Each structure stands twice: as C-alpha cells, then as structure tokens.
C-alpha cells in the first residue's frame, strides 16, 4: 500500500473506519483529495517551523549566513511547497488541468530562488566572491519557468496522487539544475565539515547530506507524491534539516537524557 494512503488513513482513520464497511481501500482512496497536496502541506508547515527557528536565532545573532538560511526555509516552505500545494488543491477542486500544470511549473521558480539562498549561505563561508551567483539560480529558475509555461507539461491526479504526463523537457531541466546546485552547495558544506571538528562537523555534514537528498535524490526518486521512495526521501531530508535547526533542543532533550546527564 502506498505510504501516502497510509498517511491518509492515519489522518482520516475514523471516517475511513466507518465507511470501509462498504468500500475497499482502493475504492475509498480513489476519489480522495490528492495525497500529494496533503503531504506537501505537511512539509510546508514543517519547513516553516524551521524558518521560524532560524529567524529567532537570527534575531539573537544577526549574521547574514543565518538570514540567508532562514530565507531558504521561508521561500521553500511558502513559495515552493506552499504554493505548489495550494495551486494543486485548487486545480483538483476545480478539476482544471491548466491550474494543475501551473501549480507544477510556477512553484519551481521559487524552488530555485530558495536553493539560491542556500548557495548564499555556503558561498559566504567558502567562496565570498561568488555569492552573486545567487542571481544565476534566479535566472535559471526564471528561464525554465518561462519554458515550462510555453511547454505546459501535462499533470493529472490519479488514484489520489499527482502524476506527470509524457516526459517533458521542463521536467528534465528541474533535476538537471538541482543536481548542479547540489554539487556546489553540498560540496561546499562537506568541505566546511572537513575543515571543522566536533559538533560543527556533524551539523555541516547533515546539511550537506540533506542537500543531496533534497536536490538530487528526491527528484530522482520522483518525490511528487507517487513514489514511496520519493516520499521517504522527503522524510529524510526534511528530518535532517529539522535536526540541524533544532540541534540544541534535540541534544538537550534527547541525547543528553539518553546519556543520563
């Protein structure tokens, strides 16, 4: 059974329990609100909490790296996952294939802006001269979005999940751009981890690993809601970033207690 269906049953368990006397799971979930939307709303909310946590740290310690890091979470949470979920929800409710397509294409522009902010974090540490490469991320996002709007890749909801139609160039340009970004950003993060030690090394390694999962593996494993592996990939990268952002809380409440301190 698809993970998204399990989540659905978890969310709507009682109702399903009542109605399942008459319907099979497949019949029940076949007409349900797309899990792609529900799950991405959840990711959006979790990443917004990450934004808020980093924003609070920024208030205490106003360094630009923190500002760029919270902007990464904010734009990803609202501009990408938030907008994507909202537009797909409207597209589904209105039964409009055009809104579904736009809901797939437009938010990816914000995805590249968000990744640009993550680049700013890493470049300000290791390559300050190349911080302006941020605008290359914005430009790439803009170009592929315009291309996507001209190509209008087909997007449909099938069995409660978002499904892409025939392979489109737009769909291929996204992982290409993300993969290149990941090489730069994760590479820089791992390099910083190598140059530091202790907790700093662990946190930077988690950021690097999270970046690879978020930008490369999630797209490779089709994270748009119709692949269990893709969904697990999302769970992994979001969790890694949550661990980093809430590190001190995580450490004091879990690790130190386990150690008996």
Partner 1 sequence: MKYKEVFEKIVESVKDMIGKVAIPQANKVEEVSVDDQGKVTEGEIDSSQVVELITTYEGVMGDGAIAVTRNAVKELYEKDESVKDLDLPEEVLPKEVKAEKFVSAF
Residues that bind partner 1 (CB under 8 A): 54, 57-58, 60-61, 63-66, 69, 121, 124-126, 128, 192, 195-196, 199-200, 203-204, 207, 244-248
The number of beta carbons lying within 10 Å of the beta carbon of residue 257 is: 10
Look up residue 152 and give its DSSP letter.
-
Nearest-approach distance from CB 124 to partner 1, in angstroms: 7
Rounded to an integer, what distance in angstroms lies between the CA atom of residue 140 and that of residue 192?
Answer: 26
Q: Closer to partner 1 at the Cβ: 173 or 242?
A: 242
* Residue that is written with structure tokens 């993970």 in the block: 3
Nearest-approach distance from CB 247 to partner 1, in angstroms: 4
Q: Closer to partner 1 at the Cβ: 121 or 155?
A: 121
Nearest-approach distance from CB 55 to partner 1, in angstroms: 11
Q: Closer to partner 1 at the Cβ: 195 or 257?
A: 195
Q: Closer to partner 1 at the Cβ: 85 or 122?
A: 122
Nearest-approach distance from CB 139 to partner 1, in angstroms: 25
Residue 94 C-beta-side C-alpha neighbours within 13 Å:
13
**Please, which residues have CB within 8 angstroms of residue 178's CB and are 6 or more apart in sequence?**
111, 115, 215, 216, 219
Nearest-approach distance from CB 65 to partner 1, in angstroms: 4
Q: Closer to partner 1 at the Cβ: 98 or 200?
A: 200
How would DSSP label each residue in 184-230?
Answer: HHHHHHHHHHHHS-HHHHHHHHHHHHHHHIIIIIHHHTT-SSS-HHH
Strand 155-158, strand 161-164: pairing: antiparallel
């Amino acid at each position: 059974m698809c993970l998204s269906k399990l989540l659905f049953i978890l969310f709507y368990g009682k109702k399903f329990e009542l109605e399942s006397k008459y319907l099979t799971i497949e019949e029940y979930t076949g007409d349900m609100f797309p899990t792609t939307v529900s799950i991405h709303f959840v990711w959006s909310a979790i990443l917004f909490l990450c934004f808020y946590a980093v924003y609070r740290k920024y208030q205490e310690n106003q360094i630009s790296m923190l500002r760029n890091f919270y902007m990464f979470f904010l734009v990803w949470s609202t501009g990408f996952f938030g907008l994507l979920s909202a537009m797909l929800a409207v597209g589904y409710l209105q039964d409009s294939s055009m809104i579904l397509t736009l809901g797939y294409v437009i938010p990816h522009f914000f995805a590249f802006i968000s990744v640009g902010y993550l680049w700013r974090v890493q470049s300000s540490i290791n390559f300050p001269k190349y911080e302006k490469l941020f605008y290359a991320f914005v430009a790439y996002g803009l170009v592929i979005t315009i291309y996507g709007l001209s190509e209008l890749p087909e997007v449909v909801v099938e069995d409660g999940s978002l499904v892409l139609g025939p392979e489109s160039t737009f769909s291929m340009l996204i992982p290409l751009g993300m993969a290149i970004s990941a090489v730069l950003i994760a590479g820089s993060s791992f390099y910083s981890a190598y140059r530091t030690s202790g907790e700093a090394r662990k946190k930077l390694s988690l950021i690097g690993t999270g970046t690879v999962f978020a930008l490369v593996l999630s797209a490779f494993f089709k994270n748009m809601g119709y692949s269990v592996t893709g969904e697990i990939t999302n769970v992994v990268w979001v969790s890694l970033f949550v661990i980093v952002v809430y590190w001190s809380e995580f450490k004091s409440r879990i690790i130190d207690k386990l150690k008996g301190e």
